[in-house]
Amino acid sequence: MEQKKKAVLYTGGGLLFGVCFLFMLYFGKETFYVEGTEPTAQTYDYHFALITEETGNAYWQMIEQSAKATAADHNIYLESMGPRKANPEEVLRTMDQMIAANVDGIITQGLPGPRFLDLVVKANEHGIPVVTVDSDMPESERTAYIGTDNYESGYLAGEELIRETKGKQSVGIITGNVESLNQQQRIKGFEEAIKNVERIEVVDIKQSNITEVGAAQATYSMIKQHSNINALFGTSALDGIGMVQGVEEMTVWERPYMIAFDTLPETINLLEQEKLDATIAQYPEEMGKQAIQTMRDLQSQANVEPLQHTGTDVIRSVKQWEDHSS
């Protein structure tokens, strides 16, 4: 009888442990996603890590796909990972893990704060170059930045608003994340462009948390608070799409002049439908490609340009975008 009790206890304890372990794996997976596993059969020349802002973001997927294609062409193993939802702390922890794993190079976005600066120093001490994409942190010891001149892109948006509008313009800005360096630089460039134009004023800035729903809610809330808003500028990839959704909830008045950011297929579709007036193009595929090429050059001790801007343009029509893309 005593042995049966022990057997039941051991079996029950084992089952409980197994269930707890499965829950731990599931919730860990939901928080942070790593694509791919360490290569086993094939021998690669280098092992680079790409740490994205978030894995489900269409813009970051463009960077990743281009980087992976370029890596495959040069016998490079590219390990791609990132939080499911934007989480700078998770990115920093993963960066530390990649340093401990002794990868040959790390590609990620520049992040504000001393922790990122310290990790770049740590990576360099281990002989691991860090290349930033999308947003820069020039105060760090990163080897190179590859991406949009974010200040210039915001400035272009401001110039477009000046050129294409008349009369008093009360502007609402929807931004992905107010803490993100690239978003701050885009807003700064926009404000610099309009600062001497008395008829244009920024009346509010709201955060979308890098989601369509967040951008729609921020737009709706902003217009409810400021009924005089007649122009909108979205500074991240999903903001323009969300702005259109938010405006369509307000059916009483003429829609504002709207400038979006990035050239996701849905954004271009809204441009074709004349629900957006313009969008600021950047080139994520070029960022991914150049990041791998730069990392490859660094492995052979070649000198690389520390600042590699990948271009930015104002797109006003589908035809113009098709001409740019061809």
Q: Where are the domains of the chain?
A: 46-148+284-311, 150-281
In this predicted structure, what is the pLDDT of residue 6? 44
CATH architecture of 46-148+284-311: 3-Layer(aba) Sandwich (3.40)
Domains 46-148+284-311 and 150-281 alike in fold: yes
29 pLDDT band (50/70/90 cuts)? very low
CATH architecture of 150-281: 3-Layer(aba) Sandwich (3.40)
> pLDDT tens digits for 60-92?
999 999 999 999 999 999 999 999 998 999 999
Give whole-number Cα distances, 188 to 35, 158, 201, 214, in Å: 35, 10, 13, 22
The chain-wide mean pLDDT, for the chain, equals 90
Confidence check: pLDDT of 5 > 50? no
> pLDDT tens digits for 241-282?
999 999 999 865 789 999 999 999 999 999 999 999 999 999
Confidence check: pLDDT of 8 > 80? no
25 pLDDT band (50/70/90 cuts)? very low
Calpha distance 118→259 (Å, rounded) = 37
> pLDDT tens digits for 276-289?
999 999 999 999 99
- Mean per-residue pLDDT, 137-151: 97
> pLDDT tens digits for 153-209?
999 999 999 999 999 999 999 999 999 999 999 999 999 999 999 999 999 999 999
